Amino acid sequence: MSQELLTRRSAFAGLQALAEQQKPLVDLFSADSQRAEKMTVSAASLTLDFSKQRVTGEVLQSLEKLALEVDLPGRVAALFSGEKVNLSENRAALHTALRAPSGKRPAGLGAVDEQLQRMAALVEKVQSGVWRGFSGKRITDVVNLGVGGSDLGPLMVTQALREYTRPEATPLKVHFASTIDGSQLFDLLTHLNPETTLFTISSKSFTTIDTLSNADTVRAWLGGFCPDSELLHRCHFVGVSASAEKMTAWGLPEANQLYFWDWVGGRFSLWATIGLPIALALGMPVFRELLAGAHELDEHFRSAAPLDNLPMLMALLGVWNVNCLDIRAHAILPYDGRLKYFPSYLEQLEMESNGKSVTREGVPLDYATCPVLWGEIGANAQHAFYQLLHQGTQAVASDFIIAASRYESMKDSTHYESLMTQHELNIANCLAQSRVLALGNAAVDPTDNPFRHYPGNQPSSTLVVDSLNARSLGALIALYEHKVYAQACLWGINPFDQWGVELGKQVAKQLQPLLSVGARSASDRCNRAQSELPQCAPTRELDSSTENLAQLIESYRVESSVGARSASDRYNRAQSALPQCVPTKSGGQP
Amino acid sequence: MKLLILGEDLVAWTLAAALASTGCRVHMTACDLPDAASEEVEPDLSRLLDQQLEMGRLQLDCGMDQLANNSLDLLIDARDFTSQEDLLAVVQEAGFPRLVALVQPVPLGTTDTLQEQLNGFSSQPPQVVFWPNFIQAGRALESFTRVEQLLLGSRDAWATRQIKRLMQPFNRSLDRFRVMTPREAELTKVAINGMLATRVSFMNELAQLAERQDIDIEAVRQGMGADSRIGFQYLYPGCGFGGEAFLQTLEQLNTELSASRTADQGLLTSVQAINNQQKDLLFQKLWRFYKADLAGKKVALWGCSFKPNTSSVSGSPALHLIAALLAHEVEVVAYDPRALPAVQKHFAGEVGLSVAASPEAAAVDADAILVVTEWKEFWNLDLVQIKETMKHPLLLDGRNIYHPEELAEQGWVYSGVGRGQVV
């Protein structure tokens, strides 16, 4: 088993030795005027300049050795061919099959086409106005209820590609609600029309409490306007899940169910029917273009040699930074407002995948894995956390992401030139920041003011996208997915499970019954309820902090519950203004 | 006067017949007269055209070739506006007649721009006027020959005299001509349509409220109309107005209005949105009545033309309803005294639509009747008898032509627009 451990690899020992002798970036750049040309690699519409990473030719050679020692190409082949790479759950991870053209998929995956077609038909029905709400009106708004992989991917893509919205999709407004506390829904439900709103419930297991509690709230809200529950389910809900059984149990008719499969990980699922909100918001052709862009990068990943292979290279550089240079933080800095949600998307993709401390077989690791990863639109982050990058005490590696061309469609507008100026300012800022982070004082005039001392030597890569569109975004997302997989192979871990996420869910379930208003104290209630609530078993006594907090919160809630009445009055007034699905006057029904 | 009329729709043929009948020599670019049953003509118009062709005053040239060297007194462009370049091109092709009249709605400023362009061509350029037509489908010939007002946008006294002389036979007892600048006339034309549409959409919005509040909109309509400041015209709530020209001018006016606005949507956007909702209304009622379970149902659709006495279906609610019904696998049996060929052409190749020879035949075995056009022949049918042949006595009246109490007594589930049962 131990052969999986990074620290047992012979190439790794070589890398550690090289790390001892490393030179600052200033010296690396002055030693070789061709450094950037040598350290630039392209694939699809993406180009990576990694010359500001603290690597030398020797380091790269050793990284390549490591890649071969780990047999990255073989592991990639295993991923694509549908081997059960997710050992702890005994599953394949075939998200690449979702975006392959139908003729190029591994055998037996005809269901992928079938679901894509069902999704396209559904999208067409909603966009063309054939799909109707309970009162017969066409759908104007769609709200996606989902969390994690069922939210972040579709949200990120929808935001990034808004300018490419197809005409057939423009009238439809697509919203996202994910939080378990219902706050997004609370805002949405005050202005959405129940007659014309469709809800997509996206959950792989269809048991995700965050999503289903939102769905239950929505169902209760709609029930206030249309008491016919069967009609509501038929007209206002679509489910996307790997569990047909659970969707049916929730009340969704079969025609309103879209499926995907256990071999698609939640955070890799935007390529499957989880992408429904993308297709609804932007148009099915945009979604297909996204798949095509990802497929292009898939082909690159499975064919290019490690040092010409963008995902492998990024994975290797990441391992070098974390395990050889001890850099435990990684910033994602897109210089593009359209990629607003890209950092949060990657936070899940990278940290949920590679935030692990045992090997695929369960052997504890003696080295670090996924760094803390966070980010923000670069130019905005300059006014937030860049100070820490420039003069703080943490070493941080960064990914700068920028689109070369922008606003091509605005050429005839009067504000085109101003927009171009802004675009150029943005590029200038992106390049300036990575330059100053790398070179520090050497990038500016010398001074002896201690407050103006810039140590530099913070490594970064810059990823240039020729132009951000469905195709290049598909490739960009696939790039990071594959980087994550390659990195997991290097670390010897399983990127496709998430056992850490499960624990919190379990404990929350145990605590919930203790928290409804009226319980005199948390433990009292638990004792009274013991017969019905096995999770309140006496062996699981609460710690004093949890108990105190529960009591404190309950005392506040009892006080404030009096003020809740005015809100329900307002709700009732709004309700009476809307048509009911059941005729209020005589003789409506056959 | 020798004139050429461009266009092959109802407006062009009406102008051709009426003006030929006053002694003008009228050339048309068509090769044949339109079929008597087609949307381009109406029965009296068709007869007049035959007559004028026989007399030789109407000439069908099958193109414009023969005209190039033939000096025309007047070119009337009755085609829908496409572009400024196209207008200039046809004036050139017609050999620069002395007078050019645009009779269809155009974007504001079109007439003046064309005049400026022509001024650049010669020292004796053609004069361009904007002479909007008020020809109404269903009574086309009458609406031209007994027009209430004649609007003329002209900057040239000679041109004004020419048009006035042309219309003298129809404008004898009282001079109804109102002459203004072309831009004023252009806006007036589209503004009239905008106002009419606004009245109808307002009534439809009121009808929605009336329905919710159990009020009969018919009583309200009569009360409102009796106020002399309001009057009775264009106050009928219903399942939406259509008509290509009408919808087009509305769209055009809204575009012009939007261009002068920055963000908020204006009144006319709402007027159009309400109209679109009304066109869908009968479908929504059917949907609610059958609880969203429409597949396999059979529906009789009474009336397909966008208004009575025309065979035109352009912009008709019937087209919208049929499409929606077919998309939900509803079997549609349509009946219309004149518009069925146009409907069949529009839905050629679609499964689920058939036509019937009478309203009674359409209703046999139907789960509902949808009244879309208020043809006179629907008003006094034997509904008791018709009800017996149906699967379900549901009558959704998009034109409020029946009495709710009477139909309820007969055992119908009857729902109109703002009256009858709430469905």
Exposed (0-12), middle (13-18) or buried (19+): which is B251, by Cβ within 10 Å? middle
Which residue has tokens 């759908």? A139
**Which residues of chain A lie closer than 8 angstroms to B287, CB-CB?**
132, 135-136
Q: Determine which one of A84, A505, A509, A541 is catalytic.
A: A505
pLDDT digits over B130-159, tens only? 999 999 888 999 999 998 889 999 999 999
Instruction: Measure the CA–CA gap between A76 and A306, rounded to whole angstroms.
Output: 11
Instruction: Identify whether the C-beta of residue A491 lies closer than 8 Å to the C-beta of residue A6.
Output: yes
The distance of B409 to chain A (nearest Cα, Å) reads: 12
Given the DSSP bridges, would you call strands A46-49 and A40-43 parallel, antiparallel or unpaired?
A: antiparallel
The verdict on whether A195 is a catalytic residue reads no
Written as six digits, the tokens of B215 are 């009020």
Residue-level pLDDT, tens digit, chain A, 590 residues: 456 899 999 999 999 999 999 899 999 999 999 999 999 999 999 999 999 999 999 999 999 999 999 999 999 999 999 999 999 999 999 999 999 998 888 888 989 999 999 999 999 999 999 999 999 999 999 999 999 999 999 999 999 999 999 999 999 999 999 999 999 999 999 999 999 999 999 999 999 999 999 999 999 999 999 999 999 999 999 999 999 999 999 999 999 999 999 999 999 999 999 999 999 999 999 999 999 999 999 999 999 999 999 999 999 999 999 999 999 999 999 999 999 999 999 999 999 999 999 999 999 999 999 999 999 999 999 999 999 999 999 999 999 999 999 998 889 899 999 999 999 999 999 999 999 999 999 988 888 899 999 999 999 999 999 999 999 999 999 999 999 999 999 999 999 999 999 888 888 888 888 777 665 454 554 555 444 544 444 445 789 999 899 889 988 888 887 665 555 555 555 555 555 555 444 433 33
The verdict on whether A505 is a catalytic residue reads yes
Region of A440 please: left (phi>0), alpha (psi -120 to 50) or beta: left
Written as six digits, the tokens of A71 are 């047999």
Nearest to A231 among B280, B291, B413 (CB): B291
Given the DSSP bridges, would you call strands B150-153 and A329-334 parallel, antiparallel or unpaired?
A: unpaired
**Which residues of chain A lie closer than 8 angstroms to B288, CB-CB?**
134-136, 579, 581, 583, 588
pLDDT at B256: 85
Identify the sign of the CA torsion B389, B394, B397, B398.
negative
Query: Which residue in A476, A477, A474, A496 sits closest to A485, CA to CA?
Result: A496
DSSP state of A158: H
Exposed (0-12), middle (13-18) or buried (19+): which is A568, by Cβ within 10 Å? exposed
- Residue in chain B lying closest to A233 (CA): B292
B328, A590: Cβ pair inside 8 Å?
Answer: no
Nearest to A586 among B212, B277, B421 (CB): B421
Instruction: Measure the CA–CA gap between B105 and A564, rounded to whole angstroms.
Output: 57
pLDDT digits over B348-401, tens only? 999 999 999 999 999 999 999 999 999 999 999 999 999 999 999 999 999 999
Instruction: Measure the CA–CA gap between A572 and A473, rounded to whole angstroms.
Output: 45
Q: Looking at the structure, do residues B266 and B314 belong to the same domain, yes or no? A: no
Length of chain B measured in residues = 423
Written as six digits, the tokens of B112 are 């003046």
Chain A interface mutation, best of B283, B284, B289, B290, highest count of A Cβ atoms under 10 Å: B284
pLDDT digits over B50-68, tens only? 999 999 999 998 887 766 5
Written as six digits, the tokens of B65 are 């070739």
Q: Looking at the structure, do residues B47 and B123 belong to the same domain, yes or no? A: yes
Query: Which residue in B128, B80, B131 sits closest to B103, CA to CA?
Result: B131
- Residue in chain B lying closest to A585 (CA): B422
**Which residues of chain B lie closer than 8 angstroms to A590, CB-CB?**
289-290, 392, 394
Q: Looking at the structure, do residues B21 and B160 belong to the same domain, yes or no? A: yes
Written as six digits, the tokens of B83 are 């572009």
ipTM here = 0.81
Q: Is the pLDDT of residue B304 over 90?
A: yes
The distance of A584 to chain B (nearest Cα, Å) reads: 7
Q: Looking at the structure, do residues B122 and B265 belong to the same domain, yes or no? A: no
CATH (domain of B35): 3.40.50.720
A135, B422: Cβ pair inside 8 Å?
Answer: no
pLDDT at B248: 84
pLDDT at A583: 45
Q: Looking at the structure, do residues B167 and B213 belong to the same domain, yes or no? A: no
Exposed (0-12), middle (13-18) or buried (19+): which is A558, by Cβ within 10 Å? exposed
Given the DSSP bridges, would you call strands A141-145 and A46-49 parallel, antiparallel or unpaired?
A: unpaired
Q: Looking at the structure, do residues B152 and B12 belong to the same domain, yes or no? A: yes
Instruction: Identify whether the C-beta of residue B129 lies closer than 8 Å to the C-beta of residue B160.
Output: yes
Q: Determine which one of A4, A195, A352, A481 is catalytic.
A: A352
Q: Looking at the structure, do residues B200 and B225 belong to the same domain, yes or no? A: yes
Confidence of residue B246 (pLDDT cuts 50, 70, 90): confident
B421, A137: Cβ pair inside 8 Å?
Answer: no
Q: Looking at the structure, do residues B141 and B20 belong to the same domain, yes or no? A: yes
Q: For residue A497, what are the CA distances in angstroms to A89, A91, A301, A361, B110?
A: 7, 10, 22, 12, 67
Chain B interface mutation, best of A124, A127, A138, highest count of B Cβ atoms under 10 Å: A138
**Which residues of chain A lie closer than 8 angstroms to B291, CB-CB?**
228, 231, 581
Exposed (0-12), middle (13-18) or buried (19+): which is A438, by Cβ within 10 Å? buried
* Edge-to-edge strand list for the sheet holding A396-405: A40-43, A46-49, A460-467, A396-405, A329-334, A372-375
Range of the domain at B412: 279-423
Chain A to chain B Cβ contacts (< 8 Å): 58
Number of domains in chain B: 3
Q: Looking at the structure, do residues B98 and B195 belong to the same domain, yes or no? A: no
Query: Which residue in B262, B280, B292, B291 sits closest to B398, CA to CA?
Result: B280
Give bridge partners of residue A175 from the DSSP assignment: A143
Query: Which residue in A365, A337, A510, A444 sits closest to A5, CA to CA?
Result: A365
Residue A399's contacts (CB-CB under 8 Å, 6 or more residues apart) are: A330, A331, A332, A333, A375, A460, A461, A462, A463
**Which residues of chain B lie closer than 8 angstroms to A586, CB-CB?**
421
**DSSP-derived 3-state class of residue A74:** helix
The residue from B233, B253, B278 where one domain ends is B278
Residues of A with CB under 8 A from a CB of B: 128-130, 132, 134-138, 228, 231, 234-235, 577, 579, 581, 583-590
Instruction: Identify whether the C-beta of residue A335 lies closer than 8 Å to the C-beta of residue A149.
Output: no
Confidence of residue B245 (pLDDT cuts 50, 70, 90): confident
DSSP character string of A350-418: IIIHH---B-TTSPBPSS--SPEEEE--HHHHTTTTHHHHHHSSS-EEEEEEEEEE--GGGTTSTTHHH
Q: Where are the beta strands (DSSP E) in B364-412?
A: 368-371, 394-397
Chain B interface mutation, best of A132, A222, A573, highest count of B Cβ atoms under 10 Å: A132
The residue from B262, B278, B294 where one domain ends is B278
Q: Looking at the structure, do residues B22 and B158 belong to the same domain, yes or no? A: yes
- Residue in chain A lying closest to B208 (CA): A579
Instruction: Measure the CA–CA gap between B362 and B369, rounded to whole angstroms.
Output: 9
Query: Which residue in B405, B421, B419 sits closest to B206, CA to CA?
Result: B419
pLDDT at A232: 96
Q: Please give the mean pLDDT across all residues of chain B.
A: 93
- Name the residue type at position A7: T
Instruction: Measure the CA–CA gap between B232 and B226, rounded to whole angstroms.
Output: 7
A135, B288: Cβ pair inside 8 Å?
Answer: yes
Q: Looking at the structure, do residues B39 and B170 belong to the same domain, yes or no? A: yes
pLDDT at A511: 86
Identify the sign of the CA torsion A253, A257, A263, A265.
negative
Exposed (0-12), middle (13-18) or buried (19+): which is B31, by Cβ within 10 Å? exposed
The residue from B131, B158, B180 where one domain ends is B180
- The mean pLDDT value for B91-96 works out to 90
Instruction: Measure the CA–CA gap between A294 and A99, rounded to whole angstroms.
Output: 7
Confidence of residue B263 (pLDDT cuts 50, 70, 90): low
Query: Which residue in A75, A498, A66 sits closest to A317, CA to CA?
Result: A66
Instruction: Measure the CA–CA gap between B282 and B387, rounded to whole angstroms.
Output: 19
Q: Looking at the structure, do residues B336 and B234 belong to the same domain, yes or no? A: no
CATH (domain of B251): 1.10.1040.10
